[in-house]
Every structure is written in C-alpha cells, then in structure tokens.
Amino acid sequence: MSSPGSGKTTLLCKTIALLDGEPVAVIEGDQQTSQDAERIRASGAPAIQINTGKGCHLDAHMVGHAIEKLGLAEDSLLMIENVGNLVCPAAFDLGEAHKVAILSVTEGEDKPIKYPDMFRAASVMLLNKIDLLPYVDFDVDAAIAYARRVNPAIRVIRVSATSGEGLGEWLAFLRDGLSSAVAAKRQTVDSLKRQIAALEAKLQGSPT
Ligand SMILES: Nc1nc2c(ncn2[C@@H]2O[C@H](COP(=O)(O)OP(=O)(O)OP(=O)(O)O)[C@@H](O)[C@H]2O)c(=O)[nH]1
Ligand SMILES: [Mg+2]
C-alpha cells in the first residue's frame, strides 16, 4: 500500500527477481489499465490485474476471485498491490498476513501523521527511494519518529527498489514470514489429520 508512484510495482518486480524462482504470485489493484500486471508477468511471476473503476481499494471478495484464477502453487508467497492512495486500503482486511506501507522520500516526512490509519494498519514501513536522499529535502529520522508515533511497533526498512539497497532485509522479512506461515499450516494439517484418524477409529469401533 502507498501513494501513487512511491514504488510498489518496482519493488514487487525487484523482489520477484531476487526470489529467483521461489513460488510467488501477485494481485494488482488499479482503477484502470493492466500495465502493472504486465510489468509483474515480465518479471517472471503470474499476476492478475483487478480494475476497481471509481473504487479506491481492493476488498477480500475481489482477492478471493483473483486467487481462484491464479491457481497458486503449494506454499506460494502471494503479494497484493493495492490501489495507490494512503486512505482507503488501510481500512480493508484482505486476509493478508501483513500490510506493508511504502513511503518514498519524495513524498515528505509528514505523511505518517497526516494519514495515520495507513501507518497504524501496517506492520512494516518501507522507506523507499533512499537513493534520492542527496537530492531531496527529507528528514529520515522525523519520518520514522512520526510513523512510530502512530504505530510504536512498526518495523522500518530503508530501501531503494531501483538500486537494490536494503532489499536483503526486506527479503529476510518475507522469507521469515513465509516459513512461519508454512510451519503453522503444517501444524494445522497434522492436527486435523490426527483428529480425522481418531474419528475414523471411533467409527470403526462403533456398532453399525
Ligand atoms: N530513484 C528511484 N526511483 C524509483 C524507486 N522505486 C520506484 N521508482 C520510480 O518511481 C516511479 C513509480 O514507480 P512505480 O513502481 O510504478 O510506483 P507504484 O507505487 O507502483 O505506482 P502506482 O501503481 O501508480 O500507484 C517509476 O518511475 C520508478 O522507476 C527507487 O527506489 N528510486
Ligand atoms: Mg503500481
């Protein structure tokens, strides 16, 4: 989630390249055009474009249908780019494990306190376009302090989606999250299998 142009699609394309064949798919949300989904496919990952028309955000129903069309690989990472704005996407639960907000250094450090819901909903803030810091008037410490004022637990990762700086930490965050989710899923499946086996044993032991 982020303002238009802060680098969501660029970051996703770079992430896909760095994942180097690990299963990943993308759902793209924009009011119009399929340009972002085409950029993702050109980077080597399956992508579904959702056009929201006059709508300013994706919702879980749209995401559910897109997942059906994607036919996700087992234990795949699914990334969702919401419609570019700092207001509507904060309010909708898409079933995601994490909301990630991007703030780029060309937008001004005050955005976390002007649009607090976005930064409160996010577990991570990616401070993007840090390669441009020498050329813009942007106070990094103030931006981080503002983000922590609205969300003391927010994790901040400084990145440049174009130069690749900081993306190692971003990839580590993704990989850690994915392995915890896969481990939690395996535990649930194992527990359900044990319950089914116990019920089947009970059924076999009971008179017909
Ligand atoms: N210098 C610099 N430019 C970047 C960086 N990340 C993205 N850009 C540029 O910013 C512009 C917008 O990037 P996009 O990835 O299309 O932004 P977006 O957030 O997906 O935009 P919408 O989908 O329209 O909301 C492009 O010209 C990118 O090349 C970065 O880290 N540094
Ligand atoms: Mg985009």
Residues near ligand 2 ion, CB 5 Å cutoff: 8-9, 36
Any domain includes 112:
yes
Any domain includes 3:
no
Any domain includes 1:
no
Q: What is the pLDDT of residue 207?
A: 78
89 C-alpha to center of ligand 2: Å?
Answer: 14
Any domain includes 125:
yes
Q: What is the pLDDT of residue 208?
A: 65
Distance CA 181, CA 53 (A): 33
Query: Which ligand approaches the C-alpha of residue 11 most closely?
Result: 1
For residue range 173-190, list pLDDT tens digits in order: 999 999 999 999 999 999
The residue segments making up the domain with residue 78 are 8-205
Average pLDDT, the chain: 97
Any domain includes 26:
yes
Query: Which ligand approaches the C-alpha of residue 83 most closely?
Result: 1
pLDDT tier, 94 (very low <50, low <70, confident <90, very high otherwise): very high
Any domain includes 190:
yes
Model confidence, pTM: 0.94
Q: Please report, for the domain that includes residue 97, its CATH number.
A: 3.40.50.300
4 lines ligand 1 (CB under 6 A): yes
Whether the predicted pLDDT of 14 surpasses 80 = yes
Any domain includes 2:
no
Count how many Cα atoms sit within 13 Å of the Cα of residue 63 in the half-sphere of its side chain: 19
Q: Are 131 and 32 in contact (CB under 8 A)?
A: no
What is the count of structural domains for the chain?
Answer: 1
Any domain includes 111:
yes
For residue range 122-174, list pLDDT tens digits in order: 999 999 999 999 999 999 999 999 999 999 999 999 999 999 999 999 999 99
160 C-alpha to center of ligand 1: Å?
Answer: 10
Q: Which amino acid is at 123?
A: S
